[in-house]
Chain A
Amino acid sequence: MNDQPIRKRRRLGYLGMLGLCGGLGMVVGLASALIDSFGGAVADELQIGLMVLCSVALIWICVAWWRGADEAVREAHKWAWYWGGSAGIGVVMGLLILTTWNVIDLVPSEMPGDPADLIVTGIGLTLGAQFTGYLVAWAFWWLRHR
């Protein structure tokens, strides 16, 4: 019988990863507000630098989490991202096509008039649908493999 002592590896769990990312977001938000108030002439440059640092840190956290995740956990996320993300964006595309053909009317009465705001709305809608699909597919994968 294999009774060798168990080597426990400390892993960054899913909630730990989300917590770290959320905490980092709060710190960066606070720093960004301080730069806005006291950054003076170089505020824009400082903001860009802060965003680059934040992006690098977020990627590092996600890579650390991914390396610690086992194969079933990874498989669930890959499956969920592909199928859930695709389904989510498919739904948005379908609604967009139906709206364009005037089959349905989903355009809110108060649409942002500024093109930049429209682009941000579109990105938000797409990412939101993809993320929702991802969460549903992720839960479905684990329910199916219980």
Chain B
Amino acid sequence: MNNRLKVLRAERNWSQAELADRLGVSRQTVNALETGRYDPSLPLAFKIARVFEQPIESIFLED
């Protein structure tokens, strides 16, 4: 699954570590999410949507 995490993070000038702290996950997990090689669970996807204040479907895109 593709996502806009990297773009959204860059727009806010957040580092991966900062986003990881906001999400309560490790930096490695943020990296895995950004590369699209790891799909988050539904609770984490909701958390991401809350942090970026955007609906889930505007962050995660189907292949």
Residues of A in contact with B (beta carbons under 8 Å apart): 1-2, 6-9, 70-73, 75, 142, 144-146
At the interface, yes or no: B53 with Cβ under 8 Å from chain A?
Answer: yes
- A6–B25 CB distance below 8 A: no
By a CB distance below 8 angstroms, the chain B residues around A146 are 31-32, 35, 37
Q: Roughly how many angstroms separate A142 CA and B32 CA in the complex, as a whole number? A: 8
Chain B interface residue number, banded: 20 to 34
Q: Roughly how many angstroms separate A73 CA and B24 CA in the complex, as a whole number? A: 12
Chain A contact surface mostly = loop
Q: Roughly how many angstroms separate A71 CA and B23 CA in the complex, as a whole number? A: 11
- Closest-by-CB residue of B relative to A14 is B26
In residues 29-58 of chain B, which contact A (Cβ within 8 Å)?
29, 31-33, 35, 37-38, 40-41, 44, 50-53
Taking a contact as CB atoms closer than 8 A, the residue among B25, B37, B41, B51 that contacts A145 in the complex is B37
User: A1-B53, A2-B51, A144-B37 are contacts. A70–B25 as well, Cβ < 8 Å?
Assistant: yes
Q: What are 5 pairs between A and B in contact, CB < 8 Å?
A: A1-B12, A2-B52, A70-B25, A72-B33, A142-B28
Residues of B in contact with A (beta carbons under 8 Å apart): 12, 18, 21-22, 24-26, 28-29, 31-33, 35, 37-38, 40-41, 44, 50-53
Taking a contact as CB atoms closer than 8 A, the residue among B21, B40, B51 that contacts A71 in the complex is B40
- B53–A72 CB distance below 8 A: no
By a CB distance below 8 angstroms, the chain A residues around B12 are 1
Q: Roughly how many angstroms separate A39 CA and B30 CA in the complex, as a whole number? A: 52
Q: Roughly how many angstroms separate A9 CA and B23 CA in the complex, as a whole number? A: 11
By a CB distance below 8 angstroms, the chain A residues around B24 are 7, 9, 70
Q: Roughly how many angstroms separate A9 CA and B21 CA in the complex, as a whole number? A: 8
- B29–A73 CB distance below 8 A: yes
By a CB distance below 8 angstroms, the chain B residues around A71 are 25, 29, 40-41, 44
Q: Roughly how many angstroms separate A73 CA and B33 CA in the complex, as a whole number? A: 12
- B35–A72 CB distance below 8 A: no
